[in-house]
Each structure stands twice: as C-alpha cells, then as structure tokens.
Chains A and B, each alone.
Chain A
C-alpha cells in the first residue's frame, strides 16, 4: 500500500429534510454543510494523495456527490469560494431537490421519526471501497465517516448489520459524528464492531473542531492519539413482538427471532416449538382437511 498515512475518506452526509427541519437551533443544515466543507478542505490539504468521496444520505434516495479522484477540470472556482466548495454545494442542492421530488406522494409520516436511508449510502460506500481494493496493491487506507443526525430506522436493522459485518471483514472502520438528539444505537455498534470512533458532540456550534481533531488524522496515526472512547455500547436485543430492549429472552432455533415470552409457535417462521417440523406440518394438514 501507499505510505501508511494516506487516507481514502468516504463521507456520508445526512441531508434528510425531516431531521434538519426539526433539529435544535444550534446547528441548521447550511451551517452544518459549511463546517463539513472546511473539514473536507482540511483533508485535501493534509496530503496531496488523500482522496475524498462524498455520498449524500437522503430520505428517499442516496447518491454520490463528489469524488476527488475524478477529473479535476470538473471543479471551477466561483468568485471567492474555493472550487471544491462551490462544486459540492451545487451538487448537494441538486441532490436535495431530487430527494424531495421522489417523496412527493407520501402521506402520514411522523416527521420526527422519519429516518434516512443510511443502509443505502453505507452499501454504496462499501462497494466503492471494494473497487479501490481491486485497483491494485497501491491504494490509500479507506475508512467511512457518517455525519448522521436522523434517528435509526428499525426497518433497516438487518441491512445495516450486514453492511457492518462486511466492513469488519474488509477491515474498513466506520466512524460516526452524530449530530442528532439521542444516540444512534446502530452507529455505536458499527463503530464498536469495525474499530471506528463514535462521537456525539456536546457543542454543535463547534462541529468543525470535533471533526478536525478526531476524524482528520489517518488510521495509522490514530494509535498515537487519545480518541473518545465508547461510553458503553448497548448490545442488548429488542424483542420482535414489542421492540422493547430485553436482557433475557427466548430465541427461535430455526429463524433466530427474539421473543420476550414463551410462545407455542414462532410468528416469523411459523415453526411449532417442541415438535419436529414434519410432524407439525402434517398436523396442520390434518387439521385443515378436518375442518
């Protein structure tokens, strides 16, 4: 690989309008983006060989915003802003409009709990990183940084866990700087399992400072720093029936669904407990033909 201090940073930016319209007043979306842009510029200046890829996590879709390894001619400065800033801002605006149009027909969604499509952007980021691995033995060290504020979407649990395990196997750390109100259990687990760093800044007005001190440093140099430690990742499971967190429960041996109480039958896979499945199936047929 390259000299060990070259990074490929894939940044996943949460643009979910449902989150940003209800977030606290200390950081609105535009301020957030300006902190992030200065951070991206910092990464580029730290080493000429550093690469950045930006993927937007929307409410209805995800898309690539910027890839520093593509032609640099794409970026032309506008007025006083550095070229990188104006390009990313323009692409983000196009993305937010596209995201909004895709959701025009939805109704009845509780705005506070609307999640973003984190599993989509994580999956795309991992595929991009695989492409970099395939390009040959000389490549920068990849890592993923999630700048997330939306709450976890429980419907994405399985997909996000799949992405986390795949990242763990490829040895790609998933870092997270969480700007929402309550911690994200999914991202805490992601950072813990993949060896990344999870931070929930206390003072969002100083977001750039957190980004610059914790996430700008390359992976190799992290061993020399005192980085924020996980304050207790919750690995307890939630039961499938009530979604409450439990510390003792019952697991179906066939499909591994978790329940808080003893049942006779698994509601996910239909297995009847205590009976060999063939007997149970023939019982069902007999009952059906009798009735």
Chain B
C-alpha cells in the first residue's frame, strides 16, 4: 500500500486508475467472471468428477518438497553458510524492463519486490551489506554504495527510475567486480542480477569477465524475467550461483526471497577471520551528545562506541571515527538458528496415526485437534499439525517438544552414544 501511494506521487498510476474506473462499471457478479475466474479453481480427480482445488494440501506438499531438498543438500556435504554477506543487486533498466507482461510494468514489479527483499535480507543477515546497481542505456551505474542500512537503499529505489536503451551484462559485472574487490576477505561476495532483456551489448569479451568474476570468488545468481539465456546460465554455472526464470509475479517474489537466507558457502570461498567488534551500551537517559551520523546534538537514545566513545544512532554500524564494527548481541543471535538448525519432522502415515497412542490426538504446540495426520519430531516424538510444522521450521526454529523437556547430562550422553 505504501508503494502504490508513493508511485501515485511519482505519476505512475495511470494504469491503476483505468482499472479502477472499469471495475466500478461492473457488478460484483460480473467481476467473478472477469477477475476471479472461479472455474479455474476446479480440477478433475481420477474418475473425472470436478472438485475444488485443495489449496491447503498443495501448500503443505510444496513446503515438504522444499524442506526435503534443503535438508538433502545440507546433509550431502558439510557445507557451512556464508553469514557475513556483501551482496550487489543489479537491476536491469533497459527498454525490456518497460514491458507490461508483469502488471503494471516489469520495472514497477521489480522495485516493489526488491524493497521487500531488502527488508527480509537485513532481517535475516544483520551483519551483511547490500549495494544497488542499475543498467541503463548500455551502461552500469552504482545506485547506492555498499551499506548496512535498509532505508538508504529503499529510498533510492523509490525515485522514479526510467528505463531505456540496451542492457550490458559485461559492464554490470565489471562494476560489481570492482565494488566487491575491496571488501574484507572474510565476507562472502554475491551478486544478484534481475535481468529483463533478451540480449546484452558488451564492449569486450564477456567470457573473460566471467572468468575474472570466477577468480574473484563472486557468486553470481540471475533471475530472468523473460526467457532463459545461455550467457546467464553460463555465468551462474561458472560462479556457482543459481539461475531461475520467473513465470509470473508470484513466482518472481518467491525466487527473489529465496536469496534472503544465507546460501550454502563452499569452504574455499571465504577466509575465516576473527573480526574485532564492539558491543556498545545504550547512552544514559538525558545525556546530550553530538551524534556522528547526523552531526547534530541529540538527547539520550543512542549508543556509545566502546573504543572512541563516539555516539551513534543505530546498530549495526561502523563507527565513523575509529572504524570499529558496532553490533548488539541480538544481531549475532539472529543468525544462530542457521548454525543450530532443527531437523525436519517426519510425516506420519494415516495408519501410524490411527495406531498411535496419543490420547487426544491434538497438536502438541497449538492443541488443535489433528484431523489429518501431521508430523512428528524425531527427537522428542511429539506430534504436530502441518501448520505448526511449517511455522516451526520457517519462523520459530525451535521444536516446542524438545524445548519442553529437560535433558539431564546423563540422558544427553546416552542419546549421543
């Protein structure tokens, strides 16, 4: 809603207004045919009878497949996750981005979802940084510098960005290579390219640039909005990234958000380092100091750098005077669930469910009656409904059954052996 208000201020609302006017002329029953298309929500079962599509079951089975593919890759090899990430998001603003196959235009859809992605990214990776790059008229320019504050990037995106000219993948890669070359060796270098065009106009040999990026350990991923291209596929294969093409807006959003959690990091990509960090205390209520970010006097409500005593307004940040990385312990704690993930629950078959001795057949965590067989934790053996299973693995990262059990040291060593 915020986005559409801002776009209205930028004068991009013509298409939206037209749709509203047309809708008012139609009655609700007419709209069910034109907009909702209720016949698409039906499917045939084996005997040819029509049934409504069971969205819940589809949602659950999609979730199961996703979880299984994730656990398969992590179990297959001891892959660590890259937690301190430096990501350059490259947005293609060539002529092709003005296409209207995504409503209202590809560019508008990209801007909307990149904003959501940026928020999600900083939520999951508080110590990481993002930089925005745009490709326009065959030239790549840096929209924002690498930084850890989501607001600066989102503000830059909200400005009316026109799209014009050709797209140049090589120029973009050269620019991100130079940007990411300067970061510390412990950071993971990633590039995410949102490519709308079907061609690239390059000044030189793009294969050389791709090799250069591969040598610099840049992990390049591409999300295409039109069709699959060989050069993008080659880039992603060489650098170890992922290449996907979005089918529609919903799919695009899903693909984009898949890049928010830390990717599995191959061990040779980053050098482990001990980073010196400060954990500032909150400034005393009512104390007056000049803050180093805004250069104005502020009262209370800030943090004091433990090394040089400068005042900063928000965390995480780098102290402007002494360069110390300042974080608070919750910022580090946000990433701990990646290091201590909980195992997927096992699905219970209908027969097991009937035979089980669970007295009231309710989900352990939410106490809803289990009408369909749910899932069980392998460690504490408690039963959970599928909705709790999804919530536990995607958001909570704690198994309520395991957390509600006290494991004595004796019992813990018994289970380990």
Binding site for B on A (CB under 8 A): 59-64, 67, 102-103, 105-106, 117, 119-121, 123-124, 126-128, 130-131, 134, 156-159, 161-166, 169-170, 189, 193, 232-238, 246-256, 258-259, 262-263, 266, 269, 271-278, 280-281
Given contacts A64-B367, A164-B330, A251-B274, 13 further A-B contacts (CB under 8 A): A62-B404, A117-B405, A120-B403, A120-B405, A123-B396, A127-B392, A128-B367, A161-B330, A161-B333, A162-B397, A235-B328, A237-B329, A254-B270
Residues of A near B187 (CB, < 8 A) are: 253
Contact between chains at A254 and B80 (CB < 8 Å): yes
In the complex, the number of residue pairs spanning A and B with C-beta atoms less than 8 Å apart equals 198
Task: Name the segment of B63-71, B156-164, B276-284 touching the other chain.
Answer: B276-284
Among candidates A59, A124, A232, A262, residue contacting B274 with C-beta atoms closer than 8 Å: A262
Cα A105 to Cα B364 with chains together (Å): 25
**Nearest-Cβ distance from residue A111 to partner chain B, whole angstroms:** 15
Chain B binding surface SS class: loop
Contact between chains at A158 and B332 (CB < 8 Å): no
Among candidates B272, B392, B408, residue contacting A271 with C-beta atoms closer than 8 Å: B272
Given contacts A117-B404, A158-B336, A247-B280, contact A123 B329 (CB under 8 A): no
Q: List 20 A-B contacts (CB under 8 A).
A: A102-B406, A117-B406, A124-B400, A126-B396, A127-B388, A127-B391, A127-B396, A131-B388, A159-B403, A161-B334, A161-B336, A235-B280, A237-B332, A248-B306, A253-B186, A255-B339, A271-B272, A273-B273, A277-B270, A278-B268
Specify the chain B residue showing the minimal Cβ separation from A59. B406
Contact between chains at A105 and B408 (CB < 8 Å): yes
Specify the chain B residue showing the minimal Cβ separation from A238. B329
Contact between chains at B271 and A189 (CB < 8 Å): no
Residues of B near A157 (CB, < 8 A) are: 333
Centre residue among B84, B268, B398 by max chain A CB count within 10 A? B398
Cα A158 to Cα B388 with chains together (Å): 20
B359 within 8 A of A: no
Closest 5 CB pairs of A and B: A120-B404, A127-B365, A253-B186, A277-B267, A271-B272
Cα A232 to Cα B300 with chains together (Å): 11
Among candidates A119, A235, A248, A263, residue contacting B403 with C-beta atoms closer than 8 Å: A119
**Nearest-Cβ distance from residue A76 to partner chain B, whole angstroms:** 20
Residues of B near A232 (CB, < 8 A) are: 281-282, 284-285
Cα A253 to Cα B278 with chains together (Å): 14
Residues of B near A170 (CB, < 8 A) are: 395
Given contacts A161-B333, A253-B186, A253-B273, contact A247 B268 (CB under 8 A): no
Residues of B near A163 (CB, < 8 A) are: 396, 398
**Nearest-Cβ distance from residue A286 to partner chain B, whole angstroms:** 16
Contact between chains at A134 and B387 (CB < 8 Å): yes
Cα A85 to Cα B271 with chains together (Å): 61
Contact between chains at A248 and B395 (CB < 8 Å): no
Contact between chains at B332 and A166 (CB < 8 Å): no
Q: List residues 115-141 of chain B with CB under 8 A from any CB of chain A.
A: 123, 127
Contact between chains at B365 and A235 (CB < 8 Å): no
Contact between chains at A61 and B405 (CB < 8 Å): yes
> How many of chain B's residues have a CB under 8 angstroms from any CB in A?
59
Among candidates B273, B391, B405, B406, residue contacting A274 with C-beta atoms closer than 8 Å: B273
B368 within 8 A of A: yes
Contact between chains at A128 and B365 (CB < 8 Å): yes
Residues of A near B367 (CB, < 8 A) are: 64, 67, 128, 131
Cα A159 to Cα B396 with chains together (Å): 9
Cα A66 to Cα B280 with chains together (Å): 42
The contact string, 1 if C-beta is below 8 Å from chain A, for chain B 336-347, is 110110000000
Specify the chain A residue showing the minimal Cβ separation from B385. A131
Residues of A near B335 (CB, < 8 A) are: 256
B236 within 8 A of A: no
Cα A266 to Cα B367 with chains together (Å): 42
Residues of B near A193 (CB, < 8 A) are: 330
Residues of A near B272 (CB, < 8 A) are: 252-254, 266, 271-275, 277, 280
Specify the chain B residue showing the minimal Cβ separation from A161. B333
Among candidates B83, B282, B364, residue contacting A253 with C-beta atoms closer than 8 Å: B83
Contact between chains at A131 and B368 (CB < 8 Å): yes
Cα A130 to Cα B395 with chains together (Å): 11
**Nearest-Cβ distance from residue A260 to partner chain B, whole angstroms:** 11
B366 within 8 A of A: yes
Residues of A near B365 (CB, < 8 A) are: 123-124, 127-128
**Nearest-Cβ distance from residue A66 to partner chain B, whole angstroms:** 11
Contact between chains at A61 and B404 (CB < 8 Å): yes
Specify the chain B residue showing the minimal Cβ separation from A233. B282
Residues of A near B399 (CB, < 8 A) are: 123
Q: List residues 377-402 of chain B with CB under 8 A from any CB of chain A.
A: 387-388, 391-392, 395-400
Contact between chains at A248 and B396 (CB < 8 Å): no
Cα A263 to Cα B273 with chains together (Å): 10
Cα A61 to Cα B307 with chains together (Å): 44
Cα A161 to Cα B270 with chains together (Å): 27
Q: List residues 275-299 of chain B with CB under 8 A from any CB of chain A.
A: 275-282, 284-285
**Nearest-Cβ distance from residue A235 to partner chain B, whole angstroms:** 4
Contact between chains at B80 and A162 (CB < 8 Å): no
B324 within 8 A of A: yes
Cα A126 to Cα B388 with chains together (Å): 10
Centre residue among A63, A234, A238 by max chain B CB count within 10 A? A234
Residues of B near A273 (CB, < 8 A) are: 272-274
Residues of A near B368 (CB, < 8 A) are: 131
Given contacts A158-B336, A162-B397, A277-B267, contact A236 B281 (CB under 8 A): yes
Contact between chains at B273 and A131 (CB < 8 Å): no
Cα A238 to Cα B279 with chains together (Å): 10
Residues of A near B396 (CB, < 8 A) are: 123, 126-127, 162-163, 166
